[in-house]
Structure 1
């Protein structure tokens, strides 16, 4: 249960910090943090929670990461579904907190006809810069694949584990710098689900892509690392 609570709180912090920065701080006139600030916020949430609770649960905070670590032989399949449930629960609870806070401002309403409403992900007319479904799928697949390669490499028994959290947090920052204009950046099905549930409409109908592409990318990364990159004891 401690592992599941760690995943719950870690994913809560990721969504609260990352999506919260997008909702409340990105567009403040003259003082807004913009895409760069939001990218950094997502990276910092993972970095800080990796050191806070990573030693308890492994610090996944993302269903795609759990699938990727399983494919790479680093995670027991019996823990997969409990982890995903804990991650999604943490993300949805964080989104509910963000919705409650946002509701405290006069005139607040989620316009689910606009791209990025309530920090949701999307493609086509719901992509921040109008990218197609194929572009969205490709970027989510590729970026999640490399994210898992970085995670698997940084946490390898031969790597310097003390700096794993830094590498992973910076990787997530870079991922957001690349893909916010394309999909508003997911690479995390739990993060996408939490925002889509409150946004409803087309972002909820497009949610399938933000489960399928990241999980496939993560599984491919796990297979690649296990078979092509990971050193065996005999090597």
Structure 2
């Protein structure tokens, strides 16, 4: 009788396991683009299986990070990475031991002091491919030679630029923009593309634009990131020359 009861229990247990749908899961994160300053949260929604799950969050091979094991479907990434980081999430059914693995990429948080290099001279009247435009660049790129230049992005999600004469009322150029994802192969860091903030040396004239005269101009640049949501202002002068020497 005892053997029959054990067999009956095993059969019922086996039937219950067999009746569960196959384990699947969807994984999302609140990436929200480079301007998203909220904490990065990975959310897992499993379905099927027994309903008793374990979650393991691993950083993908080749990227630094730790392994986190927990029994909750939401994981707040701490600290938020400074580079796009791919996580592999393993969801295991604690009853059937079935496991599925999903991947999700967590976007970086654009914060801290701005990594910018702002030049004070350029030579648009001497178009030789060197210093033809006034460009604000990532401070890690200090070459002006276009053939050697790799445009790593600036850690900002928006900017506002004004070029004017010694009289602030005489505005020669204005521009604003927001960050975009970098082109594949250029950089893995999101932010303002280095060649996005520039002035070509032209000023308004008779309804169009012409190259300005040799002389001194001034700029006001305002950059925004998660450390400076109201913006940080940079001001200075630009020398427009007609010769590289």
TM-score with structure 1 length normalisation?
0.22
Task: Determine which structure has the larger strand proportion and give its number.
Answer: 2
Q: State which structure, 1 or 2, has the greater radius of gyration over its C-alpha atoms.
A: 2
Q: Which structure carries more helix by proportion? A: 1
The TM-score, its normalising length taken from structure 2, stands at 0.21
**Higher RCO, Cα 8 Å, sep 6+:** 1
